[in-house]
Chain A
Amino acid sequence: MSGGEMNAPSARAQYFDGRNSRSTAVDVTLAEQGALAIRGDGFAFDVPRAALRVGARVGRSTWSVELERGASLAFEAGPDAERLLAALDSSPTTRWIQRLERSGRWAALCVLSLVVVTWLFVKYGVPALAARAAVLVPPDVERAIGAQGLQWIDGWLDPSQLSDDRRSAVEAAFERARTAVPDLTGLRLERRAGGPLRANAFALPGGIVVMTDELAHLVAHDDELVAVFLHEFGHLERHHGMRRLLEGSIVALLSLLLTSDVSTVASVGTGLPAVLLQAGYSRAEEREADAFALDALERIGVPRRALGDVLVRIEAETGSSGIPEILSTHPETSSRVDATRR
């Protein structure tokens, strides 16, 4: 024993010289100025503080201290080793992180904060990210997604059975709507029998607009069809569908990254578009699409009220407010109609 302080922190350790794999049992004691006195069977030496590198002590695993020239000490976690190593490495950060990692109360608090942070991120961060990313998606990719969505929808809906008259009227309205938005490319009209969707119209990423026969019959004037198409063009122009798709993908990807099971990414990815197409637009997005449609109506000299009229008509017919994109959260029709009269 080195004489003097009987109280100096001391612990058992394994000593490795860094040249070969022999393990030597040693007693390690804190000496003056943070030096370590290392005493073993047949050898004794001191290492100054400057030559020590205390590794992070994580949990109750083995804790190590690196010495010079590859030599090292390994301590079994325990009160002795804790006292000794804390004396060598007692920065506030180290102590703070260790308290965080060891206390059950902090863990509970961490879980709580994690839930809050995740919620905030999903609520605000993901939509913002998706909005940025949506404009970057190449048109080819958008079209492919839209085509896949249409294929899925065709599993549900029967082909259109419009009379030739109505069909050419609908197509003419689509062409008129298109002249109002020369910048939008890839626009394509698809007509289907509404079935469970009844009077309805919706846009798919890439420019496909699907309109049901029921809606074509419901309108009193073809201007109203133009208004519906322009509303859908509004969704396309703002990439609302793509955004919703990306939001879903980001959340799915994050949860997969968290669960770190990459092997399931492929299996989940294939069926994803179908689910995501079901998600509706937000009220704000409906208002954006309405505003876009009203501007465009004005440009081609169609009365603004065409949009309000068709909204009222659809509500009366289907009982749901607004142009009923599948399962959307619609703003109140009355407030949207008011906007068209302003």
Chain B
Amino acid sequence: MPSPNLLAPIDHDRRTERLSFTGSGAEYFRIWIANTLLSIVTLGIYSAWAKVRKERYFYGHTHLAGTSFDYHGRPIPILKGRLLAAALFVLYGVATQTSPKLLVAVVVAYLAIVPWIVVKALQFRARVSSWRGIRFAFDGSFGESYFVFGLLTVCLPLTLGLIAPYWWFRRHRFSFHNLRFGQTRCTFSALPGQYYRAFLTLVVIGLAIALAAVFLVAVVVMVTFVEVEDPGEATAQGLLFVGVGYATGIVGGSMINGLARGLLGNLSLGKTSVGPHALSTRFDPGSLAWIQLVNTVLIVLTLGLYIPFAQIRLAKYLISNTALEVDGDLDSFVANESNSVSATGGEIADVFDIDVGW
């Protein structure tokens, strides 16, 4: 019987396809809590399965042009990667603690290995991501990675952080310019100057937030400070001041985090094209600062139980403010010859917490 192809959109020459995210906090909470508990009682073994389930949930709820994304990572390779990463981490801990002289050697080894891990992690993430049955791929070279994550990282403190915007520019360029969807190359068109402008904004607002925080703490101290005799009371007072300091630190930190996500997201993802189709983002740094602030406060108040809601909330904002400016049609992407990449890079990146995203 003839069935009209309802799902394939009629292609005009140019149109905007907005991404949408349909996950819900209430639904994800149950998944998250079950997976967290299973990970804990299995001493972390289940965390590899939990990771796959989390990714599949988020990918499966992210839609573009009537089709969702798909995650193909498998638990066993991820588990192997995590065990290797954990072993390296213990080695790192032992090495740094047995002798401070070894620390230099460890830092050198770290700088030598991180660029390699970054490439592997980006390859893995791209390889296990697909849309409409076409896998992503990552072509970044080890040489460029050693330049960005090795040389530039070393130069960062030497230049007193002045090259930080350029460093971020190169990181994002590395991540996005080398991405490939099937056989279609991605291009990254942001310029270093735009990163310097974004960082200037970030520094100015960050300083304003820091000043406000210092002012607030000072006011609290002046209002509540009284000369006390009793050591117990004195300690309680000290704790109050430190507590107020922490609270403002967390509030300020999460706001700056949100701002940075917005500013840098618009410059990275928002300046990336997939072949002729340009991605565009409309992240409002103010809104993101607010989302991060509310998320952090609620996570602290609920002792972590709000985490799944926070993740959904953030994903919803970021994804629904991203669109693809389609030029031509989305049906003619061609797949790549498939090749397999081990999960190890991705998992080491997780444990050592190298931020390779934006």
B44 within 8 A of A: no
B249 within 8 A of A: yes
B257 within 8 A of A: yes
Interface of A is mostly: mixed
Residue from B3, B133, B234, B245 with most neighbouring chain A CB atoms (10 Å): B133
A19-B334, A58-B53 given; name 6 further pairs at CB < 8 Å. A21-B333, A23-B66, A72-B133, A74-B68, A137-B97, A267-B250
Convert B72-92 into 0s and 1s, putting 1 for each residue whose CB lies closer than 8 angstroms to a CB of A.
Answer: 100000000000000000000
B40 within 8 A of A: yes
A50 within 8 A of B: no
Convert B26-44 into 0s and 1s, putting 1 for each residue whose CB lies closer than 8 angstroms to a CB of A.
Answer: 0111110111111011000
Contact stretch, chosen from B4-12, B105-113, B145-153, B278-286: B4-12
Query: Once the chains bind, are A25 and B6 in contact (CB under 8 Å)?
Result: yes
Which residues of A are interface residues toward B (Cβ below 8 A)?
A: 1, 14, 16-25, 27, 40-41, 55-56, 58-64, 66, 70-72, 74, 97, 100-104, 106-107, 110-111, 113-114, 117, 136-138, 140-141, 156, 196-198, 255, 258-264, 267-268, 271, 274-275, 278, 324, 326-327
- CB-defined contacts of A60 to chain B, threshold 8 Å: 27
Query: Which residues of B (116-155) have their CB < 8 Å from a CB of A?
Result: 130-135
- CB-defined contacts of B8 to chain A, threshold 8 Å: 22-25
Kindly state the separation between the CA atoms of A248 and B149 in the bound complex, as whole angstroms. 33
Query: Once the chains bind, are A271 and B34 in contact (CB under 8 Å)?
Result: no
Kindly state the separation between the CA atoms of A22 and B132 in the bound complex, as whole angstroms. 7
Kindly state the separation between the CA atoms of A263 and B253 in the bound complex, as whole angstroms. 7
Closest beta carbon of chain B to A85's beta carbon, Å: 13
- CB-defined contacts of A258 to chain B, threshold 8 Å: 304, 307
- CB-defined contacts of B330 to chain A, threshold 8 Å: 21
Contact stretch, chosen from B166-174, B225-233, B265-273, B317-325: B225-233
Closest beta carbon of chain B to A28's beta carbon, Å: 12
Contact stretch, chosen from B56-64, B157-165, B193-201: B56-64
Closest beta carbon of chain A to B22's beta carbon, Å: 8
- CB-defined contacts of B13 to chain A, threshold 8 Å: none
- CB-defined contacts of A196 to chain B, threshold 8 Å: 228-231, 234
Please name 15 pairs of A and B residues whose Cβ atoms are closer than 8 Å in the assembled complex, sorted by A: A1-B1, A19-B334, A56-B56, A58-B57, A61-B23, A70-B133, A72-B130, A100-B34, A103-B30, A114-B37, A114-B40, A156-B234, A196-B228, A268-B249, A274-B242
